[in-house]
Amino acid sequence: MSKQHDRLQRVTIKENVLQVGGRSAAQLVEIAGGTPCYVYDRNALTGRVQSLRAAMPSELKLHYAIKANPMPAVVHHMAGLLDGLDVASQKEMMVAIGSGVNPEMISFAGPAKRLEELRAAVAANIVINVESRLELERLYQLSSEMGIKPRVAFRVNPDFELKSSGMKMAGGPKQFGIDAEQMPEVLFALDTGKVDFCGFHIFSGSQNLNPEALIEAHDKTFELAARLSELAPAPVKHVNIGGGLGIPYFPGETQLDIEPIAENLRKRMDARTGSFKDSEIVMELGRYLVGEAGYYFCRVTDKKQSRGQTFLMTDGGLHHHLSNSGNFGQVIRKNYPVLIANRVDGEDKERVEIVGPLCTPLDIVGAKLELPVADVGDLVVVFQSGAYGATASPQDFLSHPHVRELLV
Ligand SMILES: *Cc1c(COP(=O)(O)O)cnc(C)c1O
């Protein structure tokens, strides 16, 4: 089997065909009604949450950030396994409410919330992570207008950054949250008669595979939360310390070692004093929970040679799986793990470029791959596709059919 398997937690192959949830690739595609489709593995989702829970301190609350994969069936499944859901829009909020969780367990972050979104969140009584002073003013206004006291936490833009992150989302000037330096003044002026103060949200980054960097960020997050808690006008019910745990996508990347991170969190949680001591600590994760449980399948529709290169043309690509194409924040494109799902192994290999149907050279499914010789009708599978897939892709670009999604 190819080197790509180093990046995968576990793959089931039967008679040279990839299996997910006890079904063959071909069966799954039939159930989905054809290609292209995403398939999510329910058991893998459950297993991931269970192993994370087993490693982490038992008092640590785990939330699912649903923007990673907001398919309602997935959200519903995750809601039953976790302590809460984090949403980033009013529509995500509706999906979260639809999953049946207690609204108190839903929090809403987003840097430019519309007034209607704030109204919806206040009406639903979910926790709103306030990201600016004006947003707080709007919530004061809604409090009197609607006769409901909004539940607020403050999203703080920390005075540090999460090093070696796939995506930096904090430290320095950022559109997210309120700068840590501004927080004392905001807390001092907070009118707790108008809003119900719940705590803080400190999210510093995403897709991190470096335990030392995560530990350092957690240390600084706990320090910052302790400082802010001293200034809080009411008990700090919860502190959301963000997430950032990554999964391996590219050659050379390996599974994140969770043990030292868990160990450090245990220490940090136990060492708390003062008004921070009794607050709930929440970790919010998206891709770490769902990324490895998802597969993207597309079918080879044509095969051709061009000046020494072999192209496998498929019915799927960038419009469904932007991140795999390398156009979702990557500087240099690298391959996700990609296989021919119905010929996982084979003596006869060839070097192929796998591309999609869009009229742009950016539409790459896999580049310079050594794979068993494939032909029209074969199924291409992209692994690590459970997060930032269908809804993070420009599905209407070139007006091809939208992707199907299946949870098994
Ligand atoms: C996107 C996002 C997450 C999830 O990030 P992952 O890398 O998928 O874990 C969590 N919290 C906030 C505030 C986010 O914006």
Q: Which of these, 361, 365, 358, 355, lies nearest to 398 by C-alpha position?
A: 358
Q: pLDDT tens, 172-220?
A: 899 999 999 999 999 999 999 999 999 999 998 899 999 999 999 999 9
Label residue 4 by pLDDT band (50, 70, 90): low
Angle, alpha carbons 391-393-396 (nearest 5°): 100
329: left (phi over 0), alpha (psi -120 to 50) or beta: left
Q: Output the residue whose Cα is nearest ligand 1's atom 5.
A: 286
Q: Which residues pair with 405 in a beta bridge?
A: 38
Query: Average of pLDDT values for 342-371?
Result: 97
Query: Average of pLDDT values for 18-40?
Result: 98
CB of 356 closer than 8 Å to CB of 12: no
Please work out whether the CB of residue 135 comes within 6 Å of at least one atom of ligand 1: no
Q: What percent of the chain has pLDDT over 90?
A: 92
Label residue 171 by pLDDT band (50, 70, 90): confident
Q: Output the residue whose Cα is nearest ligand 1's atom 8.
A: 286
Q: Which residues pair with 85 in a beta bridge?
A: 64, 106
Q: pLDDT tens, 80-95?
A: 999 999 999 999 999 9
* DSSP codes joined into one string, 47-116: HHHHHHHHHS-TT-EEEEEGGG---HHHHHHHHTTSSEEEESSHHHHHHHHHTT--GGGEEE--TT--HH
Taken as a whole, the chain contains a residue count of: 408
CB of 404 closer than 8 Å to CB of 37: yes
* pLDDT at residue 2 greater than cutoff 70: no
The CATH number of 70-285 is which of 3.20.20.10, 3.40.430.10, 1.10.520.10, 2.40.50.140?
3.20.20.10
333 alpha carbon to ligand 1 midpoint, in Å? Answer: 22
Label residue 162 by pLDDT band (50, 70, 90): confident
The values of phi and psi at residue 60, to 5°, are -70, 125
Number of H helices, E strands in the chain: 11, 22
Q: Can you tell me which atom of ligand 1 is nearest the CA of 284? A: 10
What letter would DSSP give residue 343? Answer: -
Q: pLDDT tens, 214-263?
A: 999 999 999 999 999 999 999 999 999 999 999 999 999 999 999 999 99
3-state secondary structure of 330: coil
The values of phi and psi at residue 260, to 5°, are -65, -30
Label residue 164 by pLDDT band (50, 70, 90): confident
Annotated domain spans of the chain: 3-40+293-407, 70-285
Question: Whose structure tokens read 């799927």?
Answer: 316
What pLDDT score was predicted for residue 151?
98
What pLDDT score was predicted for residue 3?
57
To test the pocket of ligand 1, the residue of 67, 174, 240 to mutate (highest count of ligand atoms within 8 Å of its CB) is 67
Rounded distance between C-alpha atoms, residue 282 and residue 219, angstroms: 15
Mean pLDDT estimate for the chain: 95
Task: Give the count of beta carbons closer than 10 Å to the beta carbon of residue 194.
Answer: 16
Please work out whether the CB of residue 206 comes within 6 Å of at least one atom of ligand 1: yes
Q: Output the residue whose Cα is nearest ligand 1's atom 2.
A: 65
The CATH number of 3-40+293-407 is which of 3.40.640.10, 2.30.40.10, 2.40.37.10, 3.30.360.10?
2.40.37.10
User: Which pTM was predicted?
Assistant: 0.95
- Angle between helix 72-79 and helix 90-98 axes, rounded to 10 deg: 60
Distance of CA 290 to the CA centre of its chain: 7
288 alpha carbon to ligand 1 midpoint, in Å? Answer: 10
Structure-block tokens of residue 29? 């595609």
242 alpha carbon to ligand 1 midpoint, in Å? Answer: 7
Contacts 24+ apart (CB under 8 A), 262-271: 262/55, 262/56, 262/57, 264/215, 264/218, 264/219, 265/56, 265/57, 265/60, 265/218, 266/57, 268/218, 268/219, 268/222, 269/57, 269/59, 269/60
- In this structure, the dihedral spanned by the alpha carbons of residues 84, 52, 202 and 155, taken in order and rounded to 10 degrees, is -20
The values of phi and psi at residue 377, to 5°, are 100, -20
275 alpha carbon to ligand 1 midpoint, in Å? Answer: 27
**Amino acid letter, residue 241:** I
66 alpha carbon to ligand 1 midpoint, in Å? Answer: 8
Label residue 1 by pLDDT band (50, 70, 90): very low
Please work out whether the CB of residue 203 comes within 6 Å of at least one atom of ligand 1: yes
Tell me the HSE value of 171 on the side-chain side, using a 13 A CA sphere: 12
Please work out whether the CB of residue 285 comes within 6 Å of at least one atom of ligand 1: yes
Q: Which of these, 335, 377, 132, 309, lies nearest to 248 by C-alpha position?
A: 335
185 alpha carbon to ligand 1 midpoint, in Å? Answer: 27
What pLDDT score was predicted for residue 199?
98
Rounded distance between C-alpha atoms, residue 1 and residue 295, angstroms: 18
Pairing of strands 151-157, 127-130: parallel
